[in-house]
Chains A and B, each alone.
Chain A
Amino acid sequence: MGLGDVDFERVVLPHARSLLRFAGRLTGNSFQAEDLVQETLLLAWRGFRQFAPGTNAHAWLFQILMNVFRQEKRKGRSRLATEPLAHSVAATQTSGHEAVEVMQAVDRLDSDQRMVLLLAVVEGFKCREIAEILEIPIGTVMSRLSRAREAMRELLSEVVR
């Protein structure tokens, strides 16, 4: 095993779980999420020589994941999209009435708003990083984020306060 392989395992693989978490919410399907993350990691492996050490691997991987997701969407592929979210990664993580309400509210958001909200709040990306990952202007990120939070605030007025 060469140095590149060790680096790949050290730099990239620790992000597999957060990629899977995000992909689960993005696709709403555990199998599709796994496919998406597999494809992302394989592309990361094949392009690992282009990755500059010391830069943000987390954002780089999410950028790849979003590219794959967009490509799949353009091709109209919905591979294995038969598993309901109730059996998927997202629903197995937490318990309690409040958590279920929060998840339901997230799922009711417009998909653009949901994506930005999850990247900012759950994955901890800065607005500037989200703009790069989604390839949209930072102003769009900020307005989507504000609208998403307002929508969630209305949907979850009791939970929030």
Chain B
Amino acid sequence: MNHCSTIWTRAPLYLSGEMEAAERDAFEAHLAKCPACTLKIADHRNLDAALRSALGDLPDAGRVEQVVQRKISADRRRQRMAWAGAIAAAVILAAGAALAWARWSRAPEWYADAALDHRTEVIEGQPRHWRTGDAELAGVAARAGLELGQITALGAPGYRLERGRICGIDGERMLHLVFSNGTREYSVFVASHPGPARPVRTVRRGAEQVAGFETGHYRGVVVSEGSAVECAELAQAAAGRL
């Protein structure tokens, strides 16, 4: 570091103490043999000292701090209120969703009527005027807006349509069909019913398992003595064939 111009490029690092040891040694070696640079550095040091003396006092920032503290408190209040509002909204939303789900997923009351009909008419065998044979069954199917082929297809594999009759459930005429595999019987209640399609819903009513379906054009239930899964599969299959 032999040139004065280099010295003045790097001098700020020397004065701020940021210079690496090797560079600092070279810098000081130059100062040792250059009175002009030595004087300049001394002047800069004196200048810095004069500046610190003139401007170094710290002003009172009490007023600024007070205003800032007040605004921070207001900020915190706003944040707390925003959180409280968000939590309240979330709670209301969750409660609404739970209520809607409970209503939506609850099995309708008429499922119980269908279960009772199955118990009295199929399990207990109380006398009813059942229709049997293709001709009679086609007749009752037509009264429910269905064709014979449609109602026979509602049965699970291995089951055949044994008998059927029109009954009143939930203020509506429904076709009550009984399918049998020779040892077991289950009921399918079905009626034309325009409305939204819904997934199968199951409910237990005493010994009977009920699984309801709504296809958008028809609604119905399957009532059996089997498990909920088995009953739901029967209902799913019936809905798929309508």
Does B126 touch A at the CB level, under 8 Å? no
Question: In the bound complex, what is the Cα–Cα distance between A135 and B54 (angstroms)?
Answer: 27
Instruction: Decide yes or no whether B183 CB sits under 8 A from chain A.
Output: no
The 4 A-B pairs with the shortest beta carbon distances in the complex, nearest first, are A93-B57, A102-B54, A99-B54, A16-B61
Q: Would you call A160 and B55 a contact (CB within 8 A)?
A: no
The contact of A13 among B47, B52, B65, by CB within 8 Å, is: B65
**CB within 8 Å for A121 and B57 given contacts A42-B68, A45-B72:** no
Docked-complex contact B16 and A127, CB < 8 angstroms: yes
Are A20 and B61 interface neighbours, CB within 8 A?
Answer: yes
- Assembled-state Cα–Cα distance A18/B57 (Å): 9
Answer whether residue A122 sits at the interface, using C-beta atoms and an 8 A cutoff. yes
A39→B58 CA distance, assembly (Å):
19
Grouping DSSP codes into helix (H, G, I), strand (E, B) and loop, the B interface class, with mixed when no group exceeds half, is helix
Chain B 1-27: CB-based contact to A (< 8 A → 1; otherwise 0): 000000011111100111000000000
A14-46 CB contacts (< 8 Å) to partner B: 16-21, 24-25, 34, 37-38, 41-42, 45-46
Q: Is the CB of B54 within 8 A of A160?
A: no
Q: In the complex, A146→B59 CA distance in Å?
A: 28
Stretch at the interface among A58-66, A76-84, A151-159: A151-159
- Known A102-B50, A161-B43; contact A16-B64, beta-carbon cutoff 8 A: yes
Chain B proximity of A52: nearest CB distance (Å): 21
Q: Mark B96-111, 1 if CB is under 8 A from A, else 0.
A: 0000000000000000
Q: Are A17 and B47 in contact (CB-based, < 8 A)? A: no
Query: In the complex the two chains form, is A42's CB within 8 Å of B55's CB?
Result: no
Asked if A57 CB lies within 8 Å of chain B CBs, one says no
As a 0/1 sequence over residues 116 to 145 of chain A, the CB contacts with chain B under 8 angstroms (1 = contact) are 011011100011100000000000011101
Given A93-B59, A102-B50, A143 and B68 contact (CB-CB distance below 8 Å): no
C-alpha spacing A153/B11, complex, angstroms:
15
* CA A161 to CA B58, docked complex, whole Å: 26
B51: interface (CB < 8 Å): yes
Per-residue A-contact encoding for B68-79, CB less than 8 Å = 1, 0 else: 100110011000
Do the beta carbons of A106 and B9 come within 8 Å of each other?
A: no
